[in-house]
Structure 1
């Protein structure tokens, strides 16, 4: 049978219960009883029998003394109720029903012999079941005892005083057992709730740590992809152009551009690694310096690689907050990278940026979508570019859509909202007085 949470608290050493640092309970006896619950139940049952059996066997105050068969029957019933106490932890209601039964089946002269066992049983109901169940069985048992006392008193009017005294003593015994049990049970349930909450917090902490690690890996992968993929794409395009040309001067220019692009990539990589090694880095800080990403630089790199990129900017992009401006540059950079990789035959790549009062709107469109010649040809495996673009837009609260439009055209459209102060400033720029 598994231990309850309260038993784990009493019997466990610090750090031995699912990683919880539980305090060691004071007292040798408490730890002993917690580790040996069955032995404690046997002790309780034996003590209850030793205190109840003499009361059932020796009666002298009642006007009508019990007969020998009645006394033997009382002892047997009390023994059965005491044996039932061994199940008080797992079946408290059943044990109480068996322990309270002698209160209404024994002769009035022997009823006091059964007062102690029901008190112990109702204590178990309060501890191992609930306070509500304890009060219900207390009320039901008290009512049954009152009816039994009334019937016995009417049958023998000379015994009224004794019957009433027995009723009061039995009610007090049940009440004492119920109150002690409620106190102990509430403390036990409170400890269980604390331990369950502690376990829940441990699980939530581990989950948050895993989610945080996954989010950080995704963030690092996104920055690495933006730096490496764009620059390598430009380098590959320049290298292919240098290889294809027979003009030594143009080849030297291309190789010089390759070296410059590679140096820029190394600079960005070193800057990102420096940010990652910063011990004071916050969880939402950009991994790459804001200044490392520029729309103009991305467009210029694509143009150097031989792609027909045209940039249109409406409004003042320099007035946009740095975080949004960084996202704009990364989205343009990755969109151009995708165009260079997947649309090498494009005759026009149009980049449009509009700074509105509420948001920055982007549109990157190229006409180099290649139609599929074979209907059975499997689609190309999805990469990380578009998911990274959507994550980038979502990071600043924006939205991004990408897909084929108007036949052989591919468009990436994004809307990145501006903070209130940036919106007001952009509105002043649009509507000068």
Structure 2
């Protein structure tokens, strides 16, 4: 009882997979032409038995034999053609059903009530290969035509009442049996086809989601590597140029130490970023979610710029993603000043912590060599993407009379326990 309860569906609408087909059904499905030929032959044999046997049964002499001889050629042709139409039951099941009811009409002209399996097989084929609704409509029309024609012929004295009622009852039973079996088989086949189609869509969606996630991860790592490498190398180049221009070894020592410290810091951040690729279970950005604003300002000062950092407001409760975005805004802006600002001597970094968010502004007094806003590079584009991920805005442009300014606003994120 316990095992049975465990195997039963636990909720309404639970998806239940069908049982796999057996050996016979798999062979039947793999060889449709052989199956159709076999069905045609069997139906032809079953239909031929009453046509051949009924005239030679007892009392098959005299008037009765002559009546059968008149009907037998026509009936034989109709039965053969009806059975041959079963070869088209997969491609044209409605046509086959119509041919089956034509044969049923031919049975009305026999001296004795006989029938065959054509209506049964044709109804089954419509239910399997079309739909249950088409089966009901087709059988309804065929039955109405059969009954109406039979009543008209019986009223005119062309056929006997026994043949009429025998044909109606037999064909109705064949239609009901074929329809019930075909509906069951067809519903299961359509259910399996729907499951397969649903599974294929799920696979496609899964692959698309994986590609999107992979692309987003590549962009994120590209942003991190660009921020680390571009800033660190820019600072190191500036410091190295200052050391090379100095002839005093003692005055050059702090610059050399700053180059080494910047290189070590860049290597540490790069290892943390690449570690995410090696260990997928590691939380993304967790090793890098720290405030590097002071280090960026210090590196700019070491490179010879008059750099000022102004922080106002209470930074308490600032989440790591926002803090990382603020640090990267300052880092990328200072890096662009070191690389592109000609004649710049002063850098102002202003960070305001407000109840609704954080505002960042980085300004210089130099002359920009390029216009990043007209042709943004990887750094500014990555900066915009990073700020947009936090729901903020960023803008960059020239100042008057000279200089460049980068401003950003990041809304404060709610921290959840």
Q: Same fold (TM over 0.5)?
A: yes
**CA apart distance, 1:162:** 3.1
Greater Cα offset, 71-80 or 203-212? 203-212
Write out per-residue CA displacement over residues 248-280 of structure 1, whole angstroms, 9 at most, x where no aligned residue: 433333222211211222232334445554463
Superposed CA RMSD: 3.1
Q: Does 1:261 align with 2:262?
A: yes
Q: Which consecutive unaligned segments of at least 5 residues does structure 2 have?
A: 1-16
- In 2, distance between residues paired with 1:83 and 1:111? 24
Partner of 1:370: 368
Q: Is the 8 A contact 2:367 2:403 kept in 1?
A: yes
Q: Does 1:33 align with 2:28?
A: yes
* Alignment CA distance shift 1:160-1:333 (3 Å): same
Partner of 2:232: 231
**SS of equivalent to 2:361:** strand
Q: Within 5 A, what are the aligned runs for 1:283-322?
A: 285-286=284-285, 288-291=287-290, 293-322=291-320
- In 2, distance between residues paired with 1:98 and 1:411? 85
**CA apart distance, 1:192:** 0.8
**CA apart distance, 1:201:** 1.9
**SS of equivalent to 1:317:** coil
- In 1, distance between residues paired with 2:370 and 2:408? 27
- In 2, distance between residues paired with 1:145 and 1:254? 105
**CA apart distance, 1:112:** 6.1
Q: Is the 8 A contact 1:299 1:309 kept in 2?
A: yes
Partner of 2:48: 53
**CA apart distance, 1:296:** 1.4
Q: Is the 8 A contact 1:315 1:354 kept in 2?
A: yes
**SS of equivalent to 2:160:** helix
Q: Within 5 A, what are the aligned runs for 1:271-420?
A: 271-274=272-275, 276-278=277-279, 280-282=281-283, 285-286=284-285, 288-291=287-290, 293-370=291-368, 382-404=376-398, 406=400, 408-420=402-414
Q: Does 1:142 align with 2:140?
A: no
Write out per-residue CA displacement over residues 220-270 of structure 1, whole angstroms, 9 at most, x where no aligned residue: 222111111111110011111222334443333322221121122223233
**CA apart distance, 1:125:** 1.0
- In 1, distance between residues paired with 2:127 and 2:145? 20
- In 2, distance between residues paired with 1:350 and 1:184? 78
**SS of equivalent to 1:186:** helix
- In 2, distance between residues paired with 1:88 and 1:167? 23
Partner of 1:180: 181
**CA apart distance, 1:111:** 9.7
Greater Cα offset, 265-274 or 230-239? 265-274
- In 2, distance between residues paired with 1:197 and 1:325? 43
**CA apart distance, 1:147:** 0.8
- In 2, distance between residues paired with 1:104 and 1:405? 95
Partner of 2:4: none
**CA apart distance, 1:35:** 2.0
Write out per-residue CA displacement over residues 350-381 of structure 1, whole angstroms, 9 at most, x where no aligned residue: 322221212112222334343679xxxxx997
* Alignment CA distance shift 1:417-1:372 (3 Å): closer
- In 1, distance between residues paired with 2:378 and 2:92? 59
- In 2, distance between residues paired with 1:132 and 1:231? 73
Partner of 2:220: 219
**CA apart distance, 1:85:** 0.8
- In 1, distance between residues paired with 2:401 and 2:99? 85
- In 2, distance between residues paired with 1:234 and 1:371? 18
* Alignment CA distance shift 1:163-1:319 (3 Å): closer
* Alignment CA distance shift 1:386-1:208 (3 Å): same
Partner of 2:130: 129
Q: Is the 8 A contact 1:81 1:117 kept in 2?
A: yes
Partner of 1:168: 169
* Alignment CA distance shift 1:372-1:28 (3 Å): closer
- In 1, distance between residues paired with 2:345 and 2:155? 112
Q: Is the 8 A contact 1:314 1:355 kept in 2?
A: yes
